[in-house]
Structure 1
Amino acid sequence: MKIGLIAMSGVRAWDPELLELGLSMPGFVERKTVIAQLPSLGLLTLAGLTPRHDDVSYHELFDIAQDPLPNDDFDLIAISSFTAQIEDAYQVADGYRARHVPVVLGGLHVSSLPEEALLHADAIVIGEAEEVWPIIVEDARRGELKRVYRPSRPWRLVDSPIPRFDLLDPEKYNRITVQTSRGCPWKCDFCASSILIAPHYQVKPVSRVVEEIRRIKSIWPRPFIEFADDNTFVNKKHSKLLMRALIPERIRFFTETDLSFADDPDLIALARDAGCRQVLIGFESPTLLGLDGMELHCNWKLKQQERSLAAIERIQSAGITVNGCFILGLDGQTPEVFGQILEFVKQSGLYDVQVTLQTPFPGTPLYDRLRREGRLFENRYWEKCTLFDLTHEPQGMSSGELRAGLISLSQAIYDERATHQRHDRFFSQLRTSSALAQP
């Protein structure tokens, strides 16, 4: 059986003016470059669960737009998409179904709005796909696809196969993803991943992570890895074991974590020695406004706010840069927040900064609350779920003030001179720290 896996990629601002500014997802690429360089780890994992006698190929949406796939080559198409690209996913799915090729849809958006997705698919997956994928393949082989597939239990990362990295074109990707954990204990109200797909936090065995990285190194000798985790360093004991195991592998990596990373100097040193180049930390707000009630189980970020500056200095002085994330439009924020963020960035010496808009993704508590309050601009605004586009009426300021503030703040933060100053300050402080550490 011939199976085509199609990943939807390339998120950036929908608003033309914001697009002109080059706003896109952050990472180790130029800000005006979309993230097509980051392959779909979920689809590559499913490929690893597919019988080897089946012919599996991996494609990006961009590939299909430039070089349409043959009309009748495939026996099954599987598409994974996120909200901002779901309309494109539906269009691709409809095209294949019109050619009588069965289509399976999955991903966060599909799990959030299954009835919508069923209008464009022969079958959908709600939740984690690993357990049900082998069943889907066999059902498709018999021509007996069910409409809906749901896992019977949370997937155990120890059971995950090595993703089929060999399906990728080595020339196309400047970063490769590896998952070391799934879920996050904090469960913020705007985050669908740890609520819908991975409600239980778990870690992948260190030996399995190392095995995956070695497989990647057999294709990319000096890879740059992005850990596809919601919160890599939240489990300190496991993280130290992992970092020690990674030191001999001589990789470079980027990951997301929280402010507690700064509390463990030994972990910071191990992460640096293991090749950690940058951590992305969600500060969300430079003041207490907007943080209260953000997390469903506790107010952990609210309690950490006052020690943010010291934490950034501790991490960056060890040689790991911090990409600080802030959300505009949180309830309680006023137009003063734009100046507050800019001042925080200057005081903290953050190496990189990500500024986004509060975005109510379907399936999140935030979406449900804003819909109840009648604050959503549209019922179906999926292409604007980019983190940079207005989707609802804010509190504390008008939508016009919020959009104008995002533009002016982005211009100030991403100005070439300001960026160089932040980077120069980091390297200057790093040299000073190194000199002081000399005996």
Structure 2
Amino acid sequence: MKTLFLQAPSFDGFDGGAGSRYQAKREIQSFWYPTWLAQPAALVENSRLIDAPPHKTGIGEVVEAAKDSDLVVLHTSTPSFASDVKTIEAMKAAKPHLKVGLVGAKVAVQPQESLEGSPLIDFVARNEFDFAIKEISEGRDFTAVDGISYRNKDGQIVHNQERPVLHDMDQLPFVTPVYKRDLDIKNYFIGYLKHPYISFYTGRGCKSRCTFCLWPQTVGGHRYRTRSVGHVIDEIRWAKAAFPEVKEFFFDDDTFTDDTQRAEEIARELGKLGVTWSCNAKANVPRETLKVMRDNGLRLLLVGYESGNQQILHNIKKGMLIDVAKRFSRDCAELGITIHGTFILGLPGETKETIQETIRFAKEVNPHTIQVSLAAPYPGTFLYDQALKNGWLDAENAELVDERGVQIAPLHYPELSHSEIFHSVEDFYRAFYFRAPKIAAICGEMARSPEMLKRRLREGVEFFRFLRERKEVA
């Protein structure tokens, strides 16, 4: 079947791609690669991938591409589901016999509800869906495809048996040739990464049990299943030749440093290739491992600190100690490793006092840049079930973004309201960035690099526009 893989048009500036941790409009426009769509696209011969948001692809162009296809596979999410259904309606109106399926965490945990959401959805692929989609694209009858839910000829919803989790990750082909074929890498931008960048996964799953984290609880699992070192390095070597303009490679694994020995092995091979690279990390990486990675091209670590309050970290099962995180941060600073720190406000146990404690903690560990998100109880997570049980979340009003795609504060507590949590994001950003040392560091960075001057000025305009839009939401 001629197959189209699609990240559909959505809110203006909405980063809903399958590489996005939080599907929302950012404080600074950001777009992650649609790696979870590129992976099955790499398995399906003569497929095509359209990532509409970063390419500003409109619904008309999407419909025309669908008319030239037999099968369309859309990645969807809880915030984008309603919009994605509208895209399906437009495609089916143009080509009624088109087969359309959905993938992603939303349909993995809510297959019945998702199919009931629109009679035009033919199937959803649950959990790890790469080879399920490959089998469907080959024309296999739905009844013979494990891991999917679908409507039979009588309109009844059927749930096939689960598909075994993939353990030999080297069975998956490279995704970067799909990037080369179908994507314009200049359209992918992350504020803390060099531009242009490329990201992909070297493994799936995460050993941590963070109650809020979507992917390990829905699709990836809690076992870190990895590609071999040689397989990863071969893709870097291929991508380096195919994209000579790329300035940085980012490993988007939930926690690349879960296996420190493997991380060091990959680092040493990357050092031989002379590439600059970054990755996700937990704030507990030993100094000796950090040094090996730094000596072999590591530039930046994306670190989920989440909170500066130890009890909140216990509440969310983060498995991180504040003192360890502080020591790790000092080690990175001394070794010259840049940190982009992420924080979440509104997690269980949050109060006005713990918010201030987290702000003080952020100033102390002093990442180069930060991202402050609102606690987002996605269906399928422990946090979602916990919030419903304790009355922190109204199930009838559990939206995660507003009508423009801006993240809202869906959780509330007896001592902390929606509004207070929402406004604390702006307070956090202002307290962290509007400090003399941080302003001096940013100005110095801009003075040393004309490219960085242009970039930071653009980001500044976007950031203040973001703050203004949040005031309108409030």
Give the whole-Å Cα distance in 1 for the aligned partners of 2:12 and 2:415: 26
Contact 1:351 1:423 in 2 (8 A): no
**Equivalent in the alignment of 1:435:** none
Contact 2:308 2:362 in 1 (8 A): no
Contact 2:388 2:395 in 1 (8 A): no
Partner of 1:83, secondary structure, is: coil
Cα distance change on mapping 1:282 and 1:10 into 2, 3 Å: farther
Q: Is 2:428 the counterpart of 1:409?
A: yes
Contact 1:227 1:255 in 2 (8 A): yes
Q: 2:280 aligns with which of 244, 256, 266?
A: 256
Give the whole-Å Cα distance in 2 for the aligned partners of 1:353 and 1:12: 23
Cα distance change on mapping 1:32 and 1:26 into 2, 3 Å: farther
Q: Is 2:176 the counterpart of 1:153?
A: no
Once the two structures are TM-superposed, the CA of residue 114 in structure 1 deviates from its matched residue by 1.0
1:13-412 equivalences under 5 Å are 32-36=27-31, 38-51=32-45, 54-61=46-53, 62-65=56-59, 67-70=61-64, 72-98=67-93, 99-100=95-96, 101-119=98-116, 120=118, 121-139=121-139, 147=150, 152-156=163-167, 157-163=169-175, 164-166=178-180, 167-173=182-188, 174-199=196-221, 200-223=223-246, 224-261=248-285, 263-265=286-288, 267-295=289-317, 300-301=319-320, 304-379=321-396, 381-384=398-401, 388-412=407-431
Once the two structures are TM-superposed, the CA of residue 366 in structure 1 deviates from its matched residue by 0.7
Partner of 2:264, secondary structure, is: helix
Worse-matched range after superposition: 229-238 or 286-295: 286-295
Matched residues, percent identical?
21
Give TM-score scaled by structure 2 length. 0.77
Counterpart of 1:243, as a letter, is A
Please tell me the root mean square deviation across aligned C-alpha atoms, in Å. 3.2
Cα distance change on mapping 1:197 and 1:419 into 2, 3 Å: same
Cα distance change on mapping 1:90 and 1:189 into 2, 3 Å: same
Matched length: 405
Q: What is the CA deviation profile of residues 117-162 of structure 1, one whole-angstrom value per residue up to 9, with x for unaligned ones?
A: 2134111100001221221112379999971566521113121111
Contact 1:4 1:56 in 2 (8 A): yes
Give the whole-Å Cα distance in 2 for the aligned partners of 1:321 and 1:419: 14
Contact 1:378 1:391 in 2 (8 A): no
Counterpart of 1:218, as a letter, is A
Partner of 1:111, secondary structure, is: helix
Counterpart of 1:155, as a letter, is L
Counterpart of 2:277, as a letter, is F
Worse-matched range after superposition: 86-95 or 63-72: 63-72
Give the whole-Å Cα distance in 2 for the aligned partners of 1:138 and 1:130: 13
Give the whole-Å Cα distance in 2 for the aligned partners of 1:45 and 1:351: 32
Once the two structures are TM-superposed, the CA of residue 211 in structure 1 deviates from its matched residue by 1.6
Once the two structures are TM-superposed, the CA of residue 402 in structure 1 deviates from its matched residue by 1.7
Give the whole-Å Cα distance in 2 for the aligned partners of 1:165 and 1:251: 19
Cα distance change on mapping 1:288 and 1:416 into 2, 3 Å: closer
Once the two structures are TM-superposed, the CA of residue 326 in structure 1 deviates from its matched residue by 1.9
Worse-matched range after superposition: 382-391 or 402-411: 382-391
Partner of 1:132, secondary structure, is: helix
Give TM-score scaled by structure 1 length. 0.82
Cα distance change on mapping 1:256 and 1:109 into 2, 3 Å: same
Give the whole-Å Cα distance in 1 for the aligned partners of 2:353 and 2:35: 40
Once the two structures are TM-superposed, the CA of residue 401 in structure 1 deviates from its matched residue by 2.0
Give the whole-Å Cα distance in 2 for the aligned partners of 1:357 and 1:123: 32
**Equivalent in the alignment of 1:437:** none
Worse-matched range after superposition: 335-344 or 176-185: 335-344
Q: What is the CA deviation profile of residues 280-329 of structure 1, one whole-angstrom value per residue up to 9, with x for unaligned ones?
A: 2122211223122312xxx621xx21232222010122111112222211
**Equivalent in the alignment of 1:18:** none
Once the two structures are TM-superposed, the CA of residue 57 in structure 1 deviates from its matched residue by 3.8
Q: What is the CA deviation profile of residues 98-123 of structure 1, one whole-angstrom value per residue up to 9, with x for unaligned ones?
A: 33221110001111211222134111
Give the whole-Å Cα distance in 1 for the aligned partners of 2:86 and 2:305: 37
Counterpart of 1:219, as a letter, is A
Give the whole-Å Cα distance in 2 for the aligned partners of 1:26 and 1:125: 20
Cα distance change on mapping 1:406 and 1:66 into 2, 3 Å: farther
Give the whole-Å Cα distance in 2 for the aligned partners of 1:337 and 1:66: 48
Contact 1:228 1:255 in 2 (8 A): yes
Contact 1:350 1:422 in 2 (8 A): no
Give the whole-Å Cα distance in 1 for the aligned partners of 2:420 and 2:325: 27
Counterpart of 1:48, as a letter, is A
Gaps of 5+ in 1: 15-24, 428-439
Once the two structures are TM-superposed, the CA of residue 55 in structure 1 deviates from its matched residue by 4.3
Cα distance change on mapping 1:309 and 1:10 into 2, 3 Å: farther
Give the whole-Å Cα distance in 2 for the aligned partners of 1:352 and 1:26: 17
